[in-house]
Each structure stands twice: as C-alpha cells, then as structure tokens.
Amino acid sequence: MLPVIALVGRPNVGKSTLFNRLTRSRDALVADQPGLTRDRKYGTGKMGDSPYVIVDTGGISGDEGGVEFLMEQQVRQAIGEADHILFLLDAREGCTGGDEMIAAELRRTGTPITPVVNKSEGLEVEMAAADFFSLGLGEPSAIAAVHGQGVNTLINQVLDTLPPVETPDEENKGTQIAVVGRPNVGKSTLVNRLLGEERVVAFDQPGTTRDSIFIPFIHDERPYTLIDTAGVRRRARIHEAIEKFSIVKTLQAIEQANVVLMVLDAHQGVGEQDATLAGHVLESGRALVLVVNKWDGLTPDQRVQMKEEIGRKLPFLSFARLHFVSALHGSGVGDLYQLVDQAYENAMRDMATPELTRLLELLVQEHQPPSVHGRRIKMRYAHQGGKNPPIIVIHGNQTQHVPNPYKRYLVGRFREAMKLIGTPIRIEFRSGENPYEGKKNKLTNRQIQKRQRLKRHVKRQDRKK
C-alpha cells in the first residue's frame, strides 16, 4: 500500500495549489475564493523520491450547519486515512484562532503532522514561520506552492519519515464511469449509494459538487473508477467563473470515461440542457446508460408520461439502456453494474472482418445505396477501425457521396445484427483512388492528324447543307 498524505487547513490557504504542484497536474480547481474544494480528491504524488497518495480536502471553517458541516466530515475521513498530515497555514495572515482550533483537533488524532507555512514568497523564512511555533506542532516548513519554492524539500522530508514502499505496477483503474447530469438531480447521492459510503458531499443545493472527483473501488472483484462531476446547466444561467471551469472538468470527464451514467430527474422531466448534455456524450462516442432518478415518488400516469417524454426528446439515444432508480432509497441502484458492464463490453468488442463484410453484403442486397450522377455507389468490404466507440470502416467506390439516411440505415442494422446495446457506432467510408484522376489524356501525332481530318470533313458537310 502506498502511504497517504492529507492536506488540511483553513479555507483558501493553498491546499489545492499544493495538490496540483505535488501531482504535477491541474486536476484540482484553484481560484482566489474560499470554500472551493468540497470533496476529498485523491492523486498520485509525482514529486519526491518515492511514490505516495496525496489527498486534497476542503477547508475547515468551524461552521456547524449546511454544506460546510458535510465538507468537514469529508476532511475528518481523510485525516483518518492519512499516514501523515500536512497542516497548511497562511504566512500573510499569521496564526489565527481557526488555525489553533484545527491544531488542537489534529493533535488528538495521533497522526504525524508537519505544519506548512504557505504564501511565504518575498518573506524571510524565519520571520514567516516564527508566528506558528505557538501551535506546538514542531518546526514549520515555509513554502510558496504557487511558485514551487521549498515544495520538493518539504515532501522529501515527509517521505523520509514514512516506511519505504515498492514501486507498484501501473494502476488498473478498471472501467471508468462518469456520472453526469443537470445540477441537483442526485448525482452525488447515486455515487454514494453505489459505493456504500458517504464518499462525496451530497446536499440539497444546486452546485454542491464543483470539481470532478475520481474514486477507484472494487465491486465483485472487478475494478471500477467512479467520476462524480459538477452539474451542467444552460450557459445563460452561468455567472461565476468557477462554474465555467467546473463544466469544462465535466466535459473532460466524459472524454476520459468508458461509460457515462446520465442522470435525469423524474420530477423535472427532460429539459433542453439534458438534450444538450446528451449530445456532448454522443459526440464523444462514449457508452451510455440513461438513469432516471427519484422514480419512486411518481404515480403510474407520471411514469408513462416520463417514458414518452424521453422517447420524444432524446430519440438519438435509442441505443442506450433506460434504467429507473431511487438513489436516496437504493432501489434499482445495484442493477446498474450489470448495465455498465454490458455497455463497456459492447464498446470494447472485437469484430471479425469476414463477419462484417458478409453482413455488409446482406445489407446492400436488402437495400441498395442510391446512384450518384448515374453511377451506383459500390461497397466492397468492411473491417473494424477502433473501439470505444466501435468504428466500422467500409471500403468502396464513391462512398463519399453516401447520404445520411443510408448511413443511419447501416448504423441501425449493424447494431441490430451485432447486438451492440449501450454504445454508439461510428461508420467511416473510404474510397479507392482513381489512378487517372486529374491527368489529361495526351494525344499522339497520328491522333491529332485524325482529329483535324474529322474537323475538315464536318465543315465540308456543313457547307454542302
């Protein structure tokens, strides 16, 4: 097991900046705004002489209610998992009552602690750290996370206190599942229900989740990685820059995932933003499961109406499985694993070239492609060109002129014959090159003389008339 190092401190002291520095990434959202991080965020440390896991946490403010209370529960879980705690402090603000409260709580854990004085650029190291000796946690280390000053020395000092570990093989992240949807449709509640623990903050307030949280776990001896994402709403309603970055993170999570769980709210119906987000998923080519949440509170008539609305407003997602759950009570949630596995296996399936070619011949015989400029489009053979999504490459003549309705016909029949449920299919056409295209036929001297004689003969015939 890799050692776990947790970053703890008040809001806006630079924990996420240090997380990004240690992981050499931009995974954690960073802005000059307190309370940005709300969930635990895990990463693999890339700085230092040995591997480790780094955990970014939300700021501890001491508030006893609302989402801040749930954030602090996440922090305490991270502290309980940690082998070492980096207690971040702000050199510009000095030692505050909040720092003393956190220090008192950290001392009771018995976990090794290193006080880290951040934002010390431009200050003398001794002066920056002097104010924090009163916390009684040992000698503070002064760094500037945004510039990287002192970070490498700090992490190596911490790693020296931890037991050595062997470098692990490449981590098997398994099937990566992104949970997406509009704000407040129950994404975080569904993630917690799938994991069987309060892993992410779930609160009855739109926009609680701001970052994409990657959570690796094992279910029935099979590895998965759940990605809880921020809710995506219409651009006209987005006013904060933080929310714009959250949406970018959500779209990146869709691209990175193998399977997308798109969550719909059964009480709100299918909105314009649901259709837009579904379009992003379709363009990315990811396997998809449509999850209708809060299903338990509907009457039979409302359930029929919801199913009809999905078919009417999302007809382009007919390939996806439709599943109804109540994330709050857990009904139907356990069956999602089977649907995810089916969609992933279909997206990653190997298809033999002879089988695809025979199927193409049958489809062309059943329904011939249209003529272009009096010439028939010919399709000779097909083969697989990629996975996730499955790509079928068809070779022939004039295939660049295949109309969209015929493409949809081929996609539907290939999906039906190959039983590719839960994943979109892409078809690419390639035409053979004409070796004489662009070349002008050069006449010989004899052909030129014959042509001239023919022209003179035509002229004589015209004069006689």
Residue 16 assigned as binding residue: yes
Q: Coil, helix or strand for 44?
A: strand
Residue 413 assigned as binding residue: no
Residue 196 assigned as binding residue: no
Residue 230 assigned as binding residue: yes
Give residue 189's identity as a one-letter amino acid code.
T
Q: What angle do CA 44, 46, 52 make, to 5 degrees?
A: 45
Residue 326 assigned as binding residue: no
Take residue 110 and report the two structure tokens written for it: 């018995």
Q: Coil, helix or strand for 408?
A: helix
Residue 14 assigned as binding residue: yes
**Is the separation of the CB atoms in 279 and 254 below 8 Å?**
no
Residue 185 assigned as binding residue: yes
Place of tokens 């006080």: 115
Take residue 224 and report the two structure tokens written for it: 């998965």
Residue 50 assigned as binding residue: no
Residue 57 assigned as binding residue: yes
Q: What angle do CA 83, 87, 93 make, to 5 degrees?
A: 175
Residue 412 assigned as binding residue: no
Buried b (16+ CB within 10 A) or exposed e, 255-271: ebbbbbbbbbbbeeebe
Residue 31 assigned as binding residue: no
Residue 187 assigned as binding residue: yes
Cis peptide before 300 (omega within 30 of 0): no
Query: Measured between alpha carbons, how far is 332 from 324 in angstroms, rounded to an integer?
Result: 7
Residue 58 assigned as binding residue: yes
Q: φ and ψ at 425, to 5 degrees?
A: -125, 140
Residue 125 assigned as binding residue: no
**Is the separation of the CB atoms in 150 and 142 below 8 Å?**
yes
Can you say whether the dihedral through the CA atoms of 312, 314, 320, 321 is positive or negative? negative
Residue 244 assigned as binding residue: no
Residue 386 assigned as binding residue: no
> Element (H or E) spanning 456, and its range?
helix 445-464
Residue 138 assigned as binding residue: no
Burial zone of 410 (CB within 10 Å; 0-12 exposed, 13-18 middle, 19+ buried): buried
Residue 59 assigned as binding residue: yes
Residue 293 assigned as binding residue: yes
Residue 407 assigned as binding residue: no
End-to-end CA distance of the chain: 102
Residue 121 assigned as binding residue: yes
Q: φ and ψ at 360, to 5 degrees?
A: -60, -45
Q: Please name which of 286, 274, 283 lies closest in space to residue 313, comparing C-alpha atoms.
A: 274
Residue 11 assigned as binding residue: yes
Take residue 221 and report the two structure tokens written for it: 């001896």
Residue 228 assigned as binding residue: yes
Residue 343 assigned as binding residue: no
Residue 296 assigned as binding residue: yes
Residue 136 assigned as binding residue: no
Take residue 311 and report the two structure tokens written for it: 């078919």
**Is the separation of the CB atoms in 381 and 364 below 8 Å?**
no
Q: Please name which of 265, 171, 185 lies closest in space to residue 225, comparing C-alpha atoms.
A: 171
Residue 263 assigned as binding residue: no
Give residue 60's identity as a one-letter amino acid code.
I
Residue 49 assigned as binding residue: no
Query: Measured between alpha carbons, how far is 159 from 303 in angstroms, rounded to an integer?
Result: 56
Pairing of strands 391-397, 375-376: unpaired
Binding residues for GTP: 9-16, 56-60, 118-121, 181-188, 228-232, 293-296
Q: Which residues are annotated as a binding site?
A: 9-16, 56-60, 118-121, 181-188, 228-232, 293-296
